[in-house]
Amino acid sequence: MIEQKALLPEEILEKLETSVHQALVRGKRDQENGTEIDYALDMLEQLIQWSYDRYTNIELEDGCEEEGEEQTWRVHPRDIVRANQICGSFLIKIVSGMLGEWQDDRGEKAARLLAHLSGRGAAGAITRTWHFPYLNDNGNRQEYRFKLHEPSYIGNDIGFKTWGAAPLLAKKLIQQRLIPDLKNRTVLELGSGTGLVGLCCDKLGAPQVYLTDYHASVLTNVTINVELNQSSATVSKLDFIQVAQHYQFPQQLKQEQEEPKQQISLPPSPTPSVSSVSSASPSWEDYGKKFDIVIASDLLYEMEHAEYLPLAVEKLMENEFYFMIPLRPTHVAEVEFFERQMTKVGLIKDQVADSECEEEEGIVRYRYYKYVRAAQQQQPAESTVVL
- Give the H/E segment covering residue 87: helix 77-96
Q: What's the pLDDT score for residue 40? A: 92
Confidence grade of residue 26 (pLDDT, cut at 50, 70, 90)? confident
Neighbours of 6 (CB within 10 A): 8
Question: Beta partners for 371?
Answer: 321, 349
Q: How far is the C-alpha of 339 from the C-alpha of 336, rounded, in Å?
A: 5
Percent of the chain at pLDDT exceeding 70: 72
Q: Name which residue leads in pLDDT, 7 or 269.
A: 7
| Start-end of H helices in 229-302 | 240-248, 250-257, 284-287
Q: How far is CA 339 from CA 127, 310, 329, in A?
A: 35, 9, 16
Q: Which of 99-108, 140-149, 184-193, 367-376 has the lowest mean pLDDT?
A: 99-108
**Residue 134: helix, strand or coil by DSSP?**
strand
Most confident stretch, 61-70, 74-83, 214-223, 373-382:
214-223
Evaluate whether the domain defined by 126-386 bears CATH number 3.90.1150.10: no
Q: Is the pLDDT reported for residue 261 higher than 70?
A: no
Tally of CB atoms within 10 A around 66: 17
pLDDT of residue 25: 85
Helix axes 303-316, 240-248, angle to 10 degrees: 80
Residue with the bigger pLDDT between 250 and 184: it is 184
Model pLDDT, residue 283: 53
Nearest to 224 by CA among 149, 152, 167, 131: 149
Cα–Cα distance measured from residue 296 to residue 192, given in angstroms and rounded to the nearest whole number: 7
Buried b (16+ CB within 10 A) or exposed e, 170-181: bbbbbbbebbee
Taking the C-alpha atoms of residue 151 and residue 154, their distance in angstroms, rounded to an integer, is 10
The dihedrals phi and psi of 251, each to the nearest 5 degrees, come to -65, -40
For 66-93, what is each residue's pLDDT tens digit?
555 555 567 877 888 899 999 989 998 8
pLDDT beyond 50 at 133: yes
